[in-house]
Chains A and B, each alone.
Chain A
Amino acid sequence: MRTDDTDASTTKPSKRHQRAAMIAEAASGGLKTILIKITLLGIVDAIALYGLFTLFLQQQWIIFGLVAAVTLVVNWIYFTPGKLPAKYLTPGVIFLVVFQIFVVGYTAYIGFTNYSTGHNSDKAQAISALMSSAQERVPASPTYAVTVLDQFGTLSFLVTDPNGEVSLGSADSPLSPVNNATIDGGEGVGLSGYTTLSFQDILSRTTEITALAVPFSDDPNDGALRTNDGSSAYLYLSSLVYDEQADTMTDAKTGTIFTDTGDGAFVSATGAEMLPGWRINVGFDNFARAFTEEGIRTPLISVTLWTITFATLSVATTFFLGLFLAIVFNDMRMKGRKFYRVAMILPYAFPAFLSALVWAGMLSESFGFVNQVLLGGAEIPWLTNAWLAKISVLVVNLWLGFPYMFLVCTGALQSIPAELEEAATVDGAKPWAVFRLIKLPLLLVSVAPLLIASFAFNFNNFNLIYMLTGGGPRDAAADVNVGATDILISMVYKVAFTGQARDYGLASAFSIIIFILVAVISVVAFRKTKALEELNR
């Protein structure tokens, strides 16, 4: 390798060297390069500034700080001379950190929360959502003249109360008096820094405006102003009363008291939960559920076993068929090998997601091609019987995967030197012995990493499972939506994104379990391949 080069550059260059390098760099850069650099950085900075401005308006201080820090670091890297590696690495690293490393960490965090449908905001938001969902117009409410204002897409109400006092408020900030409003006919009609919505604007944004409830004061029990027409507003009071000291929610109509029991929702004495609740840290609850609740543990174990079985069998079947075909078509005397080769690669070239969908149609129980034509009208439940569905999944994956193994094995076979075979034959080895003792071990050395990669791919082969069977047939005994052919990743997807109740917390806990499984399997596989290489050395 390039050891000499490494040695030379690890010794720190002297000051003179550095200066010479800098001068050389500056001299060779040229005006064009500098212009391109400044333009690109200018665009990046402009976007960052816009982002910072938006974050400032929305008062998202943590993200504001992060974006500001990253922008400063990027500018520092590209405007100071030297730091070459950083100049080349930064753009990629930013994406890698945010969308690969950070999201893995975030998954771990969500796994310890109760994040799900009905538990997806903080407590204050949950309280205001609860109260506004139970809002009713106060029958004796005075009429407030209102003007709808817009600032960067956020709507506000400029309210003139019956006494002629003008105040401003939006969904997030309660009404507060303003004194610099434009007054017309005793009503506030405009405010500097805000755009007054015209009649057309009001019509086109009706749903947004009618949904807007501006809190009357800091106390949520004081109610909110709402408007139906964009010109007059009425006071709406919630039938729920929030008691901040006792941290309870009382339904004024029935008198039921709901208390915060620490489970992320207000719960009544009889155990009735008020939704939406809010997000809380639940510690190892999700993992405890996964391992102790019968309705989750059983499917989790069977899904894990099936995932490993599916991945192993997929690799085995595709590899052996591919190897067999590679041997069969590796005979120089055979004519038309090229034709067979192209025909057999076709399944691999056909987009995988389409293949799974096409097979799903062909294997359909009552209308599919396989049952209707090939089997003469039989009604075999290829995708709806648990065992048949597993077999179907494996056969379809064989169809999808054997061309790859065929290509790889052909390449590996052809790279084995012919002398080895000749020498063995001269020594009297039979063809089978030549294959088993010479070709196969050599082939495995070069193919083993690909087999591991293929295992890893099939371990998370979401498309095939989800598009062919949807994970089904569904396991009726399970509390989560899983079926006989579900693999871990499709189970995570179904728990998090399908059905009425989306349980992000539980799904993330499952993800973490997969992470650990994958890590263990990788370590074992890595050791094994190393052993294999040593063996053949």
Chain B
Amino acid sequence: MMSVDGATRVIPLKRPFTLRRWFARTGWRHLVGIVMVVFSGFPLLYVLSASLNPQGTLTGSNQLFSRIGFDAYARILSTPEAPFALWFGNTIVVAATTAILTVFLGALAAYSFSRMRFTGRRVGLLTLVLVQMFPQLLAVVAIFLVMSTISDLFPAIGLNTQIGLIMVYLGGALSVNTYLMYGFFNTIPASIDEAAKIDGASHARIFFTIILRLVAPILAVVGLLSFIATTNDFVVASVLLIDPDKQTLAVGLYRLVSNPNYADWSAFSAGAVLAALPVMALFLYLQKYIVGGLTAGSDK
């Protein structure tokens, strides 16, 4: 116990607020923040404003939010030469199928690399690492020629089909994703499988009912990253999909504004807003997981 003799107790005075001190401490940070918000935000605001502009041209879009209407949205959804709704549907179908199958095939492979010991395992893992260095799009010419050979034999899975496109994406995505999942599978203690094995569970049962549930977070991350990568792909999709009705958003919207000076800029902006909204919503909602996934590869 301290003895208190009344008068000498000093209450530290709060230093008076001065603008200069505030600025030196955190104020300048806000200044940087505001600059960055403007830099990051204005192109997005510009698209939004252009999409609400009923007029079609690029010049007409320069007065931000001068006129507001939904004509451009109606146009992009009803122009037969630019079947936006079909592109949107195609993109979702292709990206979702690719994501689900990539996750499944990758998880199968990662499970065997992580839990089983077999001849060729080291070579297999090394191949996965090596293959990642050579992204698939470098071989786009060969992919096109292979697919055109396939479409001579089996038109149903060759050029200009979504099944063909999905198959190509699956081949390209597997090495990276298997490796990512392999790292995560290793963090699940093997004693869990062993306990289940002693209890009489088969390998398939262990995989489907135990392991897959424990690694759910990485499955979500890989699925999401694969979905985003597929949505953004232009190279392979533009080479394989010829028919406007079969194309994805990246290919279709690019063709729509390949010359922005003469394109229906508002309609494109409306399409861009419609295409970006679900992706952005998903992204912001799952932000934490994605950031975790992005850095997952670097821990080793």
Chain A positions within 8 Å of B, measured between CB atoms, are 1-2, 5-6, 9-10, 24-25, 27-29, 33, 51, 54-55, 58, 60, 63, 84-85, 87-89, 91-93, 95-96, 98-104, 106-107, 110, 115, 325, 328-329, 331, 333-336, 340, 342-355, 357-362, 364, 366-369, 372-373, 399, 403-404, 407-408, 411-412, 446-447, 449-450, 453, 456, 460, 462-463, 466-467, 470, 489, 492-493, 496-497, 504, 507-508, 511, 514-515, 518-519, 522
Contacts and interface: CB of A to CB of B under 8 A. Distances in A.
B122 to A, nearest CB: 11
B29 A357 contact: no
Contacts of A497: 144, 238-239
A103 B139 contact: yes
A450 B139 contact: no
B174 A95 contact: yes
B276 A351 contact: yes
B126 interface: no
B112 interface: yes
B138 A54 contact: no
B298 A449 contact: yes
Interface in B169-204: 170-172, 174-175, 178, 186, 190, 200-204
Given A29-B202, A348-B283, 8 more contacts: A9-B117, A88-B116, A106-B142, A361-B58, A450-B298, A462-B234, A496-B141, A511-B138
B55 interface: no
Contacts of A107: 138-139, 141-142
A422 B195 CA distance: 45
B117 A6 contact: yes
B44 interface: yes
B279 interface: yes
Given A10-B117, A350-B280, A28 B298 contact: no
A103 B124 CA distance: 18
Interface string B108-151: 11011000111001001000000101111111111111100000
Interface in B99-115: 105-106, 108-109, 111-112
B250 interface: yes
A58 B105 contact: no
Contact of A333 (B25, B141, B175): B25
16 contacts: A51-B154, A88-B207, A93-B109, A103-B139, A107-B141, A331-B29, A343-B41, A350-B276, A354-B253, A361-B257, A408-B291, A408-B295, A446-B295, A447-B298, A496-B140, A511-B142
Contacts of A351: 228, 231-232, 250, 275-276, 279
Nearest to B106: A92
B118 A103 contact: no
A311 to B, nearest CB: 13
B297 interface: yes
B287 interface: yes
B254 interface: yes
Contacts of A325: 32, 36
Contacts of A408: 291, 294-295
B53 interface: no
B212 interface: no
B62 interface: yes
Nearest to A108: B142
Contact of A100 (B36, B121, B172, B231): B172
Contacts of B50: 361
B87 interface: no
Contacts of A5: 117, 190
B268 interface: yes
The B interface is mostly helix, strand or loop, or mixed, namely helix
Q: Report the interface size class on chain B.
A: 35 or more
B140 A357 contact: no
B59 A104 contact: no
Nearest to B136: A100
Contact of B170 (A55, A99, A104): A99
B220 interface: no
Nearest to A93: B109
Contacts of B141: 107, 110, 492, 496, 504, 507-508, 511
B247 interface: no
Nearest to B60: A367
A25 B201 CA distance: 8
A404 B29 contact: no
Interface string B256-300: 011011000100110010011001100110010001001101110
Nearest to B25: A333
A474 B109 CA distance: 45
B143 A349 contact: no
Given A331-B29, A357-B254, A453-B297, A344 B109 contact: no
B67 interface: no
B43 A399 contact: yes
B208 to A, nearest CB: 10
Pairs of residues from A and B, 8 with the lowest C-beta to C-beta distance, nearest first:
A99-B171, A88-B112, A349-B283, A28-B202, A106-B142, A92-B105, A103-B139, A367-B58
B30 A334 contact: yes
A355 B280 CA distance: 13
A467 B112 contact: no
Contacts of A449: 297-298
A34 to B, nearest CB: 11
B167 interface: yes
B72 to A, nearest CB: 14
B148 to A, nearest CB: 9
A24 B200 contact: yes
A91 B203 contact: no
Contacts of A515: 134, 138
Q: Pick the most buried of B136, B202, B253: most chain A CB atoms within 10 A of its CB.
A: B202
Contacts of A10: 117
Contacts of B143: 99, 103
A100 B128 CA distance: 11
A347 B134 contact: no
B232 A352 contact: yes
B203 A84 contact: yes
B65 interface: no
A221 to B, nearest CB: 27
Given A25-B202, A325-B32, A325-B36, A100 B174 contact: yes
Contact of B146 (A106, A342, A407): A106
B232 A492 contact: no
Contacts of B36: 325, 340, 343-344
Contacts of B26: 331, 333-335
Contacts of A467: 234, 254
Contact of B43 (A63, A333, A355, A407): A355
B37 interface: yes
Nearest to A340: B33
A212 to B, nearest CB: 17
A110 B145 contact: yes
B175 A96 contact: yes
